[in-house]
Amino acid sequence: MRNICIFASGGGTNAEAIIQFFSDKPLVNVCLIVSSRKDAYVLKRAENHHIPSLVLDRSAFRETENLLETLKEHAVDLIVLAGFMWLVPTYLVAAYPNKIVNIHPALLPKYGGKGMYGSHVHEAVISAGEKKSGITIHYVNEHYDEGAIIVQATCEVTPEDTPESLAEKIHQLEHQHFPRVIEGVILR
């Protein structure tokens, strides 16, 4: 059995897609949900699926390595960032080399980095007149959105697109590709 821990900061739609995808796969288990916000809906999703959860304290996350003990207790093999907004500290990247995966709602290396999340990304893509956007699934390193790319998937950006309509196209790509890519990473 391989164990996944999902880090999320918001509603958790990607977390839900991942949980559902692995619900009937006996070799992989979502064993823990970690959130940066105590009011994040992803915590309700964890409760609904009877998955233990943890809310991080920002200073403890950055300044101590206490989280490593919790991850060890849950025998975490892979950490999946699914809408997690904090930079992952060096100690965690070092403890899980090429075992932390993130999804970004644009085609990196463009439109990545600090502050490039949610509607900010889609507004930037549309403002730049891009004809394509998409998702980038990548390994995490010590910098925002700079880890090695695993997979990218694209969608068309039309002149009629708004940040909201582009976000919907991106969500469809995320839910279609992210769980399968995670499966490939964790089972290889």
**What does the pLDDT read at residue 115?**
87
Q: Which of 50, 104, 122, 143 is catalytic?
A: 104
| Residue 136 predicted with pLDDT over 90 | yes
- Of 143, 22, 188, 108, whose CA–CA distance to 5 is shortest? 22
Q: What is the CB neighbour count within 10 angstroms for residue 168?
A: 13
**What does the pLDDT read at residue 22?**
97
pLDDT (tens digit per residue) in 18-42: 999 999 999 999 999 999 999 999 9
pLDDT (tens digit per residue) in 171-188: 999 999 999 999 999 998
The answer to whether 138 is a known catalytic residue is no
H runs (alpha helix) in 34-77: 42-48, 58-63, 66-73
Domains of the chain, CATH where assigned: 2-187 (3.40.50.170)
Cα separation, 99 vs 77, whole angstroms = 7
**What does the pLDDT read at residue 62?**
94
**What does the pLDDT read at residue 118?**
87
pLDDT (tens digit per residue) in 67-123: 999 999 999 999 999 999 999 999 999 999 999 999 999 999 999 998 898 899 999
Cα separation, 45 vs 16, whole angstroms = 7
